């Protein structure tokens, strides 16, 4: 099977590429390297450097005629979307539509869209949150990702393109950028390795659903092969973890007794977040396999071995 992975030089995309190569698939990576890094790309994958919005990206799909496209490329910063909403929409909405058109023309069989959970659902009435909960995005980033979901699922019946959306919880693990949006594990690990204090905004009681990047890559591969999977599917643990507990677990893994500092709470920050993985179990046969403490230990080990990743000052994905 031939697969194109957009954003395949990024944090999540590069792990997806690794899984696909390991399973014997031919992989072509499409990435403009604005936040991705060439050295993350598996040596067995082909690398094409171009912008998602360019004619070159369309030509790539037409030339390669892949069986599957995994769309992981994105403008993924909530903060940047607030400052540059047009840029956010151009990448996440118009870039996705252009890619979908190319897939339809090339008769791609399967389109897997890597979306967001927390930014799509916003503050919810049900924890863990299922896929049929009303979507309440509160940032241009959340709106653009949800809009692209609708485009993907509209294209399915119109052009015979089997599409599925994976709404990810808070992904963490090796290769995550400590300067990136929502990369709290990478941020804390980087600062602790450098001997700096970590800052927790507010009382630290806010919760997030932390899912290990290797498990996410497994879910993407299962979505490629599943004939039943369609529509939105949460990729998450379903477990709430407070930022205080996260920090304590990370410090314990590193053998440190350093306490975190607390600062003012961020205005409008979501208080609770966890996504239900029930539909992923049903349709993909997938469940998170990596306990948080194990994932944290792997992340710290990676940043210890590859300090450049722990000190990079770039955006996520």
pTM: 0.94
Which CATH number do you get for residue 185? 3.90.25.10
Whole-angstrom Cα distance, residue 213 to residue 258?
Answer: 27
- Residue 49, domain member (yes or no): yes
Are 202 and 221 in a shared domain?
no
Mean pLDDT per 10-residue segment, the chain (317 residues): 97 98 97 94 97 94 97 93 96 97 96 96 94 95 97 94 97 88 85 94 96 98 94 98 97 94 87 96 98 97 78 36
Q: What SS3 class is residue 173?
A: coil
Instruction: Please return the burial class of 40, using the count of CB atoms within 10 Å of its CB with bins 0-12, 13-18 and 19+.
Output: buried
Are 127 and 267 in a shared domain?
no
Are 157 and 184 in a shared domain?
no
Whole-angstrom Cα distance, residue 64 to residue 59?
Answer: 8
Paired sense of beta strands 207-208 and 241-242, if any: antiparallel
Are 119 and 181 in a shared domain?
no
Q: Where are the alpha helices (DSSP H) in 255-306?
A: 278-284, 292-305
Which CATH number do you get for residue 34? 3.40.50.720
- Residue 245, domain member (yes or no): yes
Paired sense of beta strands 170-172 and 68-71, if any: unpaired
- Residue 282, domain member (yes or no): no
Report helix angle 243-253 to 292-305, nearest 10. 60
- Residue 283, domain member (yes or no): no
- Residue 317, domain member (yes or no): no
So what's the pLDDT on residue 31?
97
Are 181 and 255 in a shared domain?
yes
Are 248 and 224 in a shared domain?
no
So what's the pLDDT on residue 14?
98
Whole-angstrom Cα distance, residue 110 to residue 119?
Answer: 25
So what's the pLDDT on residue 204?
96
What's the CA angle centered on 293, arms 290 and 295, to 5 degrees? Answer: 45
What letter does residue 147 receive in the DSSP assignment?
H
Are 6 and 148 in a shared domain?
yes
**Is the link from the previous residue into 128 a cis peptide, with omega within 30 of 0?**
yes
Count: domains in the chain: 2
Are 204 and 87 in a shared domain?
no
So what's the pLDDT on residue 316?
31
Instruction: Provide the token pair at 82.
Output: 């607030």
- Residue 316, domain member (yes or no): no
Are 229 and 255 in a shared domain?
no
So what's the pLDDT on residue 307?
67
226: domain range?
2-170+211-235
So what's the pLDDT on residue 182?
54
141 is catalytic: yes
Instruction: Provide the token pair at 182.
Output: 């929502």
Are 195 and 73 in a shared domain?
no
| 223 φ/ψ angles, rounded to the nearest 5 degrees | -65, -35
Q: Where are the alpha helices (DSSP H) in 226-277?
A: 243-253
Instruction: Provide the token pair at 247.
Output: 């920090």
Are 192 and 264 in a shared domain?
yes
Name which of 122, 145, 144 is nearest 134 in CA terms.
122
So what's the pLDDT on residue 317?
29
Are 306 and 264 in a shared domain?
yes
> Are 194 and 307 spatial neighbours (Cβ–Cβ below 8 Å)?
no
Find the catalytic residue in 113, 141, 172, 212. 141
Cβ neighbors of 152 (< 8 A, separation 6 or more) are 71, 96, 100, 111, 113, 163, 165
């Amino acid at each position: 099977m031939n697969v194109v992975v957009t954003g395949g030089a990024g944090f999540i995309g590069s792990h997806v590429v690794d899984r696909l190569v390991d399973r014997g698939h031919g992989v072509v990576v499409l990435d403009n390297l604005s936040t991705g890094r060439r050295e993350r790309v598996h040596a067995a994958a082909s690398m094409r450097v171009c912008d998602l919005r360019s004619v070159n990206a369309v030509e790539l799909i037409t030339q390669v005629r892949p069986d599957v496209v995994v769309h992981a490329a994105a403008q993924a910063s909530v903060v940047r979307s607030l400052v540059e909403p047009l840029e956010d929409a151009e990448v996440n909405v118009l870039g996705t539509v252009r890619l979908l058109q190319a897939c339809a023309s090339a008769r791609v069989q399967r389109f897997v869209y890597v979306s967001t959970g927390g930014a799509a659902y916003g503050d919810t009435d049900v924890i863990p949150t299922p896929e049929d909960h009303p979507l309440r995005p509160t940032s241009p980033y959340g709106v653009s990702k949800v809009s692209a979901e609708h485009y993907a699922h509209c294209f399915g019946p119109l052009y015979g393109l089997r599409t599925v959306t994976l709404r990810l919880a808070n992904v963490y693990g090796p290769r995550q950028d400590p300067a990136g949006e929502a990369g709290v594990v990478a941020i804390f690990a980087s600062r602790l390795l450098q001997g700096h204090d970590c800052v927790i905004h507010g009382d630290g009681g806010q919760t997030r659903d932390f899912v290990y990047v290797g498990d996410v890559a497994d879910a993407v591969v299962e979505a490629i092969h599943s004939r039943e999977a369609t529509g939105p599917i949460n990729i998450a643990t379903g477990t709430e973890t407070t930022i205080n507990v996260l920090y304590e677990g990370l410090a314990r893994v590193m053998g440190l007794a350093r306490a975190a500092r607390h600062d003012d709470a961020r205005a409008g920050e979501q208080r609770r977040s966890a996504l239900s993985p029930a539909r992923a179990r049903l349709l993909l046969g997938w469940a998170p396999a990596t306990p948080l403490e194990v994932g944290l230990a792997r992340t710290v080990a990676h940043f210890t071995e590859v300090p450049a990743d722990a000190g990079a000052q770039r955006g996520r994905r």
